[in-house]
Structure 1
Amino acid sequence: MNSKTFSTKLIKLRRERNFTQQQVAHLLSISQSTYCSWEMGSCFPNMRHVPSIANTFAVTIQELFDEKGENLSQLK
């Protein structure tokens, strides 16, 4: 999965739930600028954030990635 695909998915999930970037960042205990960088595709989240992201958006970890089952190895 490339950063653009992941960032697009984050934006879609956030908007579907009517969250602001600030609200998501608060729920994940990260700065808004960090979350914004994920949505902009300038970086991937650290692996330790992946379960929290899935929980925040009420999706599985697999659903955070495309239907091809992309490898999680691109995450830091």
Structure 2
Amino acid sequence: MTFGTKLQKLRNEKRMSQKEISGILEVSQTIYGKWESDRFYPTYKNLKKIAAFYMIDVELLTEDQINLSLEKSTDSFKNMSVSKSSETILKLLKKIEKAVSLIREQTEIVQKEKDD
């Protein structure tokens, strides 16, 4: 449930209008409406006022919003495609890794010959 949906549900449970609630919270009805429609998000100061009015913790108001933000971030990360330059860099790193491996092998052979 989004913050706006939760806010609207709480307001409806109190059987109050946006105008009444916005007056109590000392914000315009337009702003309050934008909170309920998830177009704007209140400041922490206003979140504290809202939580106090409804007698709930700020965390309960924002909990789903935080989870939703984390899910969106994770989804965005999963959907990122590897760019051409990233592919080129990965190919070069693999070549370097092979070269370093060959050098190590040669060094070990030379070292063994010296030891013998």
> Given the alignment of the two structures, is residue 47 of structure 1 paired with residue 37 of structure 2, yes or no?
no
Q: Is the 8 A contact 1:38 1:44 kept in 2?
A: yes
Relative to its length, the structure with more helix (as a share) is 2
AA matched with 1:7: G
> Given the alignment of the two structures, is residue 35 of structure 1 paired with residue 40 of structure 2, yes or no?
no
Higher Cα Rg, which structure: 2
Report the CA distance between 1:65 and its aligned residue: 2.2
SS at match of 1:9: helix
List structure 1 segments (4+ residues) > 2 angstroms apart after TM superposition: none
- Structure 2 length-normalised TM: 0.52
> Given the alignment of the two structures, is residue 70 of structure 1 paired with residue 66 of structure 2, yes or no?
yes
**CA–CA distance in structure 1, aligned partners of residues 60 and 10 of structure 2:** 10
- Per chain length, whose mean CA-contact separation is higher, i.e. which structure has more relative contact order (CA < 8 Å, sep 6+)? 1
Structure 1: 5+ residue stretches without partners: 72-76
Match of 1:74 in 2: none
Indicate the percent of aligned positions where both proteins have the same amino acid.
31
Structure 2: 5+ residue stretches without partners: 68-116
What is the CA RMSD across the aligned residues, in angstroms?
2.0
- Structure 1 length-normalised TM: 0.78
